[in-house]
């Protein structure tokens, strides 16, 4: 009877090890998939600044490529307030301004 109990414990531990290994493999695969699809750090969309007007309303300045968007956010949704096309000189000056 003791050998049967020991064998059952060994099988339970082995099954737990297999389940944990499968879980680790799944997590590893999801991270790789996320990396291949492109993480937010490699995106060319950048939030330049956000100003909260109150608990429900805010204004966000976002840059995508050479365009800057001024967006209004509220509980009703998102609204584009203004769009600005920037030249390369404007972008370099803006980056220097934000770095200092």
How many C-beta atoms lie closer than 10 Å to residue 68's C-beta?
19
In eight-state DSSP terms, residue 53 is: S
Max CA separation in the chain (angstroms)? 82
Per-residue pLDDT reduced to its tens digit, 28-54: 999 888 777 765 555 688 899 999 999
The first and second tokens of residue 16, run together, are 């737990």
Q: Is the dihedral of CA 17, 23, 28, 29 positive or negative?
A: positive
Residues 63-91: what's their mean pLDDT?
86
CA geometry: angle 43, 44, 45, nearest 5 deg: 90
Q: For position 51, what pLDDT does the model report?
A: 94
Q: For position 36, what pLDDT does the model report?
A: 73
Q: Where are the domains of the chain?
A: 1-43, 44-99
Asked whether residue 96 carries a pLDDT value surpassing 70, the answer given is: no
Per-residue pLDDT reduced to its tens digit, 68-77: 999 999 999 9
């Amino acid at each position: 009877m003791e050998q049967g109990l020991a064998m059952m414990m060994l099988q339970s531990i082995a099954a737990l090890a297999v389940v944990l290994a499968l879980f680790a493999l799944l997590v590893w695969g999801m991270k790789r998939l996320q990396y291949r699809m492109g993480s937010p750090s490699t995106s060319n969309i950048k939030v330049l600044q956000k100003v909260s007007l109150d608990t429900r309303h805010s204004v966000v300045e976002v840059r995508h490529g050479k365009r800057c968007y001024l967006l209004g956010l509220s509980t009703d949704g998102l609204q584009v307030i203004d769009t600005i096309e920037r030249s390369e000189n404007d972008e370099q000056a803006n980056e220097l301004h934000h770095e200092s």
